[in-house]
Amino acid sequence: MDGILARDALDQALALEGGEIGAEELMRATLQQIERLNGPANAIVSLRDAEALLAEARAADAAPRKGWLHGLPVAIKDLADAEGLPTSKGSPVLAGQVAQRDSLHVSRMKAAGAIVIGKTNTPEFGLGSNTFNPVHGTTGNAYDAGRTCGGSSGGAAVALALRMLPVADGSDMMGSLRNPAGWNNVYGMRPSWGRVPDWPEGETYLHKLSTNGPMARSPRDLAALLDVQAGPVAGAPFCLPKVASLPDIDAPVAGRRIAWARDWGGAFPFEPGILDLCETALAGFADLGVTVEAIDPPFDRDALWQSWLDLRAFANAARLGQLYDDPGHRPRLKATALWEIEQGRNLTLAAVEAASLTRSQWYARADALFQTHDVIALPTAQVWPFPLDQEYPTEVAGHAMDTYHRWMEVMIPASLIGLPAISVPAGFGANGLPMGLQLIGAHGADAAVLQLAQAWHRATDWPNRRPPPGV
């Protein structure tokens, strides 16, 4: 692996800014990499015409620089809108619908000079951590094309790992930026709620579970893209102020404290090898002067799960209910989408109130924990990447899973209360497959979590140390 595509996004940007290469040259190399690798990977979908993209790149070469993304090719997750491109969300109900404007974070990336070349693949409506859908097909893992890449930002993670993109956007409800990053040896960040808002349209108060965010091959690139995506927008509640993360990314981390929550006191089952690999990674943090302490479960597992189950179904019933009510569309929705909607519509007011109370109590308990520790650490998945013909795991280490997403339960401590969380590569198992480690910070502490991730990256550089075969 060599050449401009082997470099991180900020290094590519410096090469463009300094005239070492041009945007047209970078675009041509990117399209050649996509032609070479995307066929079996199926990570990038709705790819735009090559000549049109090369013309945009030439125009970028001739224009003043707009920002650090100027001239860099990007592809947008197919749950978000990019003007002029279809937003199918992986659903045959929406296939072919062309976006009339950009999602807010996409408009900000474009304003910083990014050239949108297409979309990245996602599960239907982003439901399930396995990237397949009836519109664009299946995306395989960058390290084993016969296994899942995770999801729902699976296409983004694979495109990054295969050096088809320098940096990518994604979204995260139940680990959708963290799980595929962990399974493809890259970095994915779920920002604090309010850090990366969207346009203030429709209901903006009740359903705060998902957020957009960045994915990259280094924490420096994560920080740079987050700084582009982040910032308040008029009319949207709960927005956090715009604070740059990149300038202090290399801050010293010695003396910081990690609370290792492991398997939540035995409550979360894991396939063999995952916890051992993550504990080996944590020992590397100790070498950086970071204190790692195992902790008892900080909250009741069953209460957390019931709160998440109800609030997630409540949110999905709201966003997908109109499709469910259309007799022409309902038969075309996948089973897990139907289940989410029906679960949400069957909730009582008392159940929603109880779920919100549990969430409030967990936030208070987590906030107390962050008075003594800088981050909570957990693995990014409870299983290794599984075969593509398996929709989702039905059991983990002999424990039956009672829903299609229970095997991702390790993600909900951060998701339920909107905490910033970064998936950092933890290394590889005996099976040759990658795994990640979540670093979860206090709400608003995005920059501090990025600093820990950057220190880890400087010490390990897993994405460049062990890139996917054939890259």
Report helix, strand or coil for 68: coil
Among 153, 171, 176, 415, which one carries the catalytic annotation? 176
Residue 77 bears catalytic tag: yes
Number of Cβ within 10 Å of residue 471's Cβ equals: 15
Number of Cβ within 10 Å of residue 159's Cβ equals: 32
Residue 91 bears catalytic tag: no
Per-position DSSP letters for 89-142, written without gaps between them:
TT-TTTTTPBPSS--HHHHHHHHTT-EEEEEE---GGG-SSS-EETTTEE-B-S
The answer for residues whose C-beta is within 8 angstroms of residue 219's C-beta and 6 or more apart is: 187, 249, 422, 424, 450, 453, 454, 456, 457
Among 77, 89, 110, 334, which one carries the catalytic annotation? 77
Residue with tokens 């209460």: 303
CB 258 within 8 A of CB 282: yes
Beta-ladder partners of 379:
437
CB 88 within 8 A of CB 179: no
What gap in Å lies between CA 234 and CA 370, rounded to an integer? 31
Residue 176 bears catalytic tag: yes
Among 46, 88, 103, 152, which one carries the catalytic annotation? 152
What gap in Å lies between CA 237 and CA 234, rounded to an integer? 8
What gap in Å lies between CA 143 and CA 185, rounded to an integer? 9
Q: How far, in whole angstroms, is CA 31 from its chain's centroid?
A: 24
Cite the active site residues: 77, 152, 176
